[in-house]
Homo-oligomer: A and B are copies of this chain.
């Protein structure tokens, strides 16, 4: 595995591989790798000749009051994990390399952002779309892998790729969970021990909603009630949102039908967790 820190070297390497008609699987991350990321790498390895992992904690996608400084980082651990996952190239640029000066352009997301996490994180998806645009131009991957845990991110990036005609295939990959159901996340380490014990209620509430849908519930408000009650009663976290939308358009709906997402975010002392359930309901 080769660790690359400059854009120029990365582009030179990718250029050569492109001429050899190699398929490139790309997994962009902010590091502190967990099993969710490893699942993405495994999938990328199966589908492609070469895999590129990027580790870059992107300041542009953090709001001024968000956890950029506290975001967990452990490059040596990540490097060892990437090596053992047979990553070919690990792209690990500095902030100064990615943003040498105040950017003169950025990508702004016009749709799918005034709901869910976008609502409480103004500019977050602009930052995501901008860094992904840069990374796609640097890596020029054949396929790029994203976890469905950030379902809104996947929806936004599908819009980005389609509207900017970026020649890459986006591959959304299922959420990977701990044994107790908690969705894997680099931020989970910031849960207090008691909160860590409570946190699986997020997934259990989604499972309860799933069961209710199977029993015929089609009213979004009722499902939101079930979920909110469970989380409020069984955790010390504060609900940021529990919402149900069409997917990937993220438009409100009065009655469950078609492809829908039930998404939630809960704030704990030092960390805010998200989870979701996407399903298709016969019309």
Q: Report A's interface with B, CB cutoff 8 A.
A: 7, 11, 15, 18-19, 21, 102-112, 129, 133-134, 137-138, 140, 156, 159-160, 162-167
Contacts and interface: CB of A to CB of B under 8 A. Distances in A.
Contacts of A7: 165
12 contacts: A15-B167, A18-B19, A103-B110, A104-B111, A104-B112, A104-B156, A105-B156, A106-B108, A107-B108, A134-B164, A134-B165, A137-B165
A18 B7 CA distance: 21
B164 A133 contact: yes
A107 B104 contact: no
A105 B160 contact: yes
Number of copies: 2
A163 B15 contact: no
B110 A107 contact: no
Given A165-B7, A167-B15, A102 B107 contact: no
A19 B16 CA distance: 10
Nearest to A138: B165
Contacts of A137: 164-167
